[in-house]
Structure 1
Amino acid sequence: MKLPPPDSELGKLMATLPQTGAVDWIGLRPKRDVAMNEVVEVVAETGAGLVGDRYSGGSGKRGITLIQAEHLPVIATLSGHASVEPATLRRNLVVSGIPLIALKGRRFRVGEVVLEGTDSCDPCSRMEAALGPGGYNAMRGHGGLCARILQGGTIRRGDAVVALDITDSIA
């Protein structure tokens, strides 16, 4: 995603975030078609993925997936549920307090790990089985963010999520 020049009006607006966020939940998918494992911390490997996750060692563009905690009640409502557990949505991190869409095309820090938002994390057809008929559509626009791991380390529940300076953005 190409961002506007940092000194433009739109660039200044996009660089301004109201606050930092926090990691509320961490989950790993050990292999296809199995339940997510909730963990309190995970090791992120540069250019690869999360140790213990089925996508670890891949191309890196989808090294980690994040979803907005504030969107969980929306997804629940739109899919006809009172609530939705994070593991149901199959994302690695649930993050609160910072708009994930603002991190698309940018570098950001989660604890000691530096990530780069690469693309929206669109829902897959598995959401029909997980949430029931219409589950796919309930998640559209609320699926979160895929990110590349630029600097590895450990991510822990409660870690801060902080956007890095806009000049560190990808082109």
Structure 2
Amino acid sequence: MTGRLLGIARHGRPRGPIETLEKVAVSVEGGLAGDFRGTVKPGGRGRRQVSLMEARHWAAAMDELGHDLPWWNRRCNLLVDGIALPRVPGSRLRIGDVVIEIIQECDPCSRMEQLLPGLEAALTPDWRGGALGRVIAGGEIAVGDEIGMDAGRPE
């Protein structure tokens, strides 16, 4: 089963503006280049380097609320289509040379409610808020790249 990478976004500081990109370098040490969440702190494990969300889940939340906000308002890094994100920690996704290990569900926060009343609740069921991951292998990714499951296992 494969899908496509539909969008890339980053923010350089907490609560900072979102920047959408066509391509980006991804590294084990820094996650998405220029994104504040990706850098592994000294002694840290980089458990929350990358956030991913399925396009169909964002669309479902927008339909429920009768709005059409751009996906990057979710403040996640990668928007995927045509593939269900794995819900099992340790599962791995591959985008070109980049491998991302799923760590946990990305629960929606109160910022979503501030953005649009009801959005936090609309993103809560069935992992609609997305998944968090850490980078296992780096490289460059671009919008339109194929995304699929990787057979590797956690280290």
TM-score for the superposition, normalised by structure 2:
0.88
Following superposition, the deviation at residue 144 of structure 1 comes to 0.6
CA deviations on 1:81-117 (whole Å, 9 max, x unpaired) are 1x23111100001000000135643122012201111
Say whether residues 1:20 and 2:6 are aligned partners. Answer: no
* AA of the residue aligned to 1:38: T
Unaligned runs of 5+ in 1: 1-18
Which of 108, 112, 130 aligns to 1:127? It is 112
Q: Is the 8 A contact 2:100 2:134 kept in 1?
A: yes
SS in 2 for 1:65: strand
TM-score for the superposition, normalised by structure 1:
0.80
Mapping of residues 86-97 of structure 1, within 5 Å: 86-97=71-82
C-alpha separation in 2, matches of 1:47 and 1:121: 21
Q: Is the 8 A contact 2:38 2:48 kept in 1?
A: no
Greater strand percent: which structure?
Answer: 2
Mapping of residues 15-164 of structure 1, within 5 Å: 19-58=1-40, 59-81=45-67, 83-102=68-87, 104-131=89-116, 133-141=117-125, 142-164=128-150
Q: Is the 8 A contact 1:103 1:163 kept in 2?
A: no
Q: Taking structure 1 as reference, are residues 124 and 139 closer, same or farther at Cα in structure 2, changes over 3 Å only?
A: same
Unaligned runs of 5+ in 2: none
Range moving further from structure 2, 28-37 or 63-72: 28-37
C-alpha separation in 2, matches of 1:151 and 1:64: 13
Q: Is the 8 A contact 2:101 2:136 kept in 1?
A: yes
* AA of the residue aligned to 1:50: L
Q: Which has the larger radius of gyration?
A: 1
Greater helix percent: which structure?
Answer: 1
* AA of the residue aligned to 1:107: R
SS in 1 for 2:31: coil
Q: Is the 8 A contact 1:105 1:169 kept in 2?
A: yes
* AA of the residue aligned to 1:40: E
Q: Give the length in aligned residue pairs.
A: 149
CA deviations on 1:49-84 (whole Å, 9 max, x unpaired) are 111001121341111100001112111123331x23
C-alpha separation in 2, matches of 1:20 and 1:103: 17
What corresponds to 1:16 in structure 2? none
Identity of aligned residues (%): 33
